[in-house]
Structures are given as C-alpha cells and as structure tokens.
Amino acid sequence: MKHILLFSLGVILFSCKQENKQETSKPESVTASKDGLIYPEETHFKSIQQVTFGGDNAEAYWSFDDKQLVFQSNFKDWGVGCDQMFLMNVGESFRESKPPMISTGMGRTTCAYFLPDNKSFVYGSTHAGDKFCPPVPLRKNGNYVWPVYDTFDIYVSDLEGNITGQLTDQPGYDAEATVSPQGDKIVFTSTRSGDLELYTMNIDGSDVQQITDELGYDGGAFFSPDGTKLIFRASRPKTEAAIKKYKDLLAEGLVEPTEMELFICNADGSDLRQLTRLGNANWSPFFHPSGEKILFSSNFEAERGFPFNLYMIDLDGKNLERITHGETFDAFPVFSNDGKKLAFSSNRNNGGGRDTNLFIAEWVD
C-alpha cells in the first residue's frame, strides 16, 4: 500500500532523523493562502481545484486519455467502511454528490490504475479472503506500522465494477500495481519470494519477472514516461537489530515505514541505485513528464514527523526543490499523461481536521 493510513491519523511521530546529505532552499516562513488552496510559494501551481470534501482520499490515477481518474476513498458518507475505488470525470468535484464506486464494495482495496483501453483498470483487493474490511493495526510496540495483508491479489475490472480477470494467485501479498505509459507492462509488489520485492508482468499477467532482491520493503513503483525506468521507495535495514525487527514484523504482516528512501532502476531491474539520502520518510514518487525529474513526498525537513510536502529532484540526485509549502500533509503526486495537470492528496483546506482530500492543479514548469 502507498498508503492512506499514514495521514488519517493526523500527527505521526517518526524515529530520529538522519543527517541530511541533500539540501533544499525554503522560505523562512510560509505565508497562508487566502483560500486555503494555493500558498504564494507554490509557484508551480497556476490554479487548483479541490475534488473531494471528506474522508481519506488518495492515489488518484489518470486514464490514458486524461478524461477520467480512479481513486480510493474511505469516506463513510459514501457508504464504505474502508478503502474502495471510485471513478470521476476530470472537472467534477464532490462536495454534495457521490462518485460511482467501481470496486466490489467487499474487503479492502488499494492502488487502482487504468489500462490502455480506458475502459478497464487493475487494482488490489482482499475480497477473496474475506468480504469484510480487514483489521487495521496502527502501532506495534509503540511504533507506527502499515499492514501488509496476505489476502491482497491484483484484479482487472471494467468501469461498472465487474471483475473481468485475476492477474495474481500466488500465496501472500500482491498489490501496488501500476501500468507503464507504454501500455505493455505492470509493476507490482509481492511477498512471493519471502520479502517485499518488485515484479513486472505483461498486462495480461504473463511473463512475471522479479526486479529487486535486496532485503527491505520495495514498493510504490512507477514507470518513466518512456517505460524504460522504474522509480520506487524502499526501506533498507542494515544493522542486525534492524534486520531482525524488519523480518519479525513482516512475519506478522506488518512493516514500519518511518525510514524510506527513493531508488531508481531500469525496467528490467538493472542499474539499480539510490536516488535520495534525506532521512525520515521519502515516498510516493512519480516521474515528471520530461522523464528527467522525480516528484515525491517527504518529511525530511520535519523534526517531529510532520509536515509532509512535495519535492522535486533530478535523476542524478541534484537540484532538490520544494514544491508545496503546507504545514500538514501533501503526497501522492501524479501527472496527467499530457503533463499539464497534477493530481495529489492534501490536508489543506480541511478545517483543521483529519480529512485528506484530492486536488488537481494546473502545472507550470
């Protein structure tokens, strides 16, 4: 998962911050925006639209023709008990209305992504294991954790919510599927090797290839615009104590996501290298339309785990730039295929509560 639970909790306390080896410039103070949507320092946003107005809403992914988005929400006013998938047309917002649900309404879902025909999508779901929402452990021995449900599998569905195929059936966790902009490959995370590794497959589920093989949670992967590279976030426990802790938690279906960095590799797993060395949690990366930069969320400048803001960095790890300037949470940045718009999730303009809503900004380079 990529992972909406992080911010529905409000303030999360993280472990001791590592020394930053990369630096970014930021203003001495953040000026509040007049309407709560765009801060004056957010110069890459020409305009912004708020799409949702309650609950936790995240991972909004564009159709290949940029006319629709699919996203996950747990908004109780929409009749769901945990994350389900919803569909929207670009330009719509849902202050008083409800978007159509396009998952089964059973189990918990995650990471829906359009297929090239714009008429179907892939997503992870636990519904085959249990029709009810699985429990959500949030802390283990006082530390924040993410659940990694072994009942997650990856399915294909049409836009009316009818499951038309199942792409994974291995024991364990299979989820976090995203599709190459070239329309030929899917990357996903699986525990089939005993660890949380990246795999690719054809869009029909054939030709499964393991991409990573180093101990740690490899996930949240996306292809570059030309389909030749992958960007993802990973934990890399190194000490004997950290390795034991990671393995013990994973045996219980849990991971601790407080120390993550970004990694990049070719689509076949070759030329793997670490992109960031910022400390704290660096995650939800996505390629800039040029293919030469990465947009991602991080709390590396935070002293107590928050805020999370969006940053941009070159593929060589240089020219780190802060993009958003909120005091709470911004994450899940996803560019439209034409590169003109950016969908992301944020706590901004939520009245000081815990709601995480979707926003669509016009992007300016």
> Does 261 score more than 90 pLDDT?
yes
Per-residue pLDDT band at 22 (split at 50, 70, 90) = low
* pLDDT at residue 81, as a whole number: 94
Convert the pLDDT of each residue in 265-312 to its tens digit: 999 999 999 999 999 999 999 999 999 999 999 999 998 778 999 999
> Does 223 score more than 60 pLDDT?
yes
* pLDDT at residue 36, as a whole number: 64
156-178 b/e (C-beta count within 10 Å ≥ 16 → b): bbebeeeeeeebbeeebbbbbbb
State the Cα–Cα distance between residues 33 and 20, nearest whole angstrom. Answer: 29
Query: Any idea which of 79-83, 140-144, 172-176 has the lowest mean pLDDT?
Result: 140-144
- Domain ranges in the chain are 5-363
| Average pLDDT of every residue of the chain | 91
> Does 29 score more than 90 pLDDT?
no
Query: Any idea which of 26-30, 43-47, 172-176, 246-250 has the lowest mean pLDDT?
Result: 26-30
> Does 11 score more than 50 pLDDT?
no
Per-residue pLDDT band at 26 (split at 50, 70, 90) = very low
Convert the pLDDT of each residue in 113-169 to its tens digit: 999 999 999 999 999 999 999 998 877 777 889 999 999 999 999 999 999 999 999
Concatenate the DSSP letters of all residues of 7-72 into one string: HHT-----SPPPPPSS-----SSPPPPSSSS--TT-TTEEEEEE---SSBEEEEEE-TTSSEEEEE
pLDDT, greater one: 19 or 320: 320
Query: Any idea which of 69-73, 225-229, 303-307, 330-334 has the lowest mean pLDDT?
Result: 303-307
CATH classification code of 5-363: 2.120.10.30
* pLDDT at residue 16, as a whole number: 32
Q: Could you tell me which residues come within 8 angstroms of residue 182 by beta carbon, excluding any fewer than 6 positions away?
A: 223, 226, 227
Q: Could you tell me which residues come within 8 angstroms of residue 97 by beta carbon, excluding any fewer than 6 positions away?
A: none
Percent of the chain residues topping a pLDDT of 70: 90
- In this prediction the pTM is 0.92
102-116 b/e (C-beta count within 10 Å ≥ 16 → b): bbbebbbbbbbbbbb
* pLDDT at residue 167, as a whole number: 98
Is the N-terminal amide bond of 137 cis, ω within 30° of 0? no
Per-residue pLDDT band at 3 (split at 50, 70, 90) = low
Give backbone dihedrals phi and psi of 266, rounded to 5 degrees, phi first. -70, 160
Contacts by 22-29, CB closer than 8 A, 24 or more apart: 22/276, 22/277, 22/278, 22/313, 22/317, 22/320, 23/320, 24/301, 24/311, 24/320, 24/321, 24/322, 25/321, 25/322, 26/301, 26/322, 26/325, 27/325
Average pLDDT score over residue span 320-348: 97
Sign of CA dihedral 45, 50, 51, 57: positive
DSSP class of residue 300 equals T
* pLDDT at residue 12, as a whole number: 37
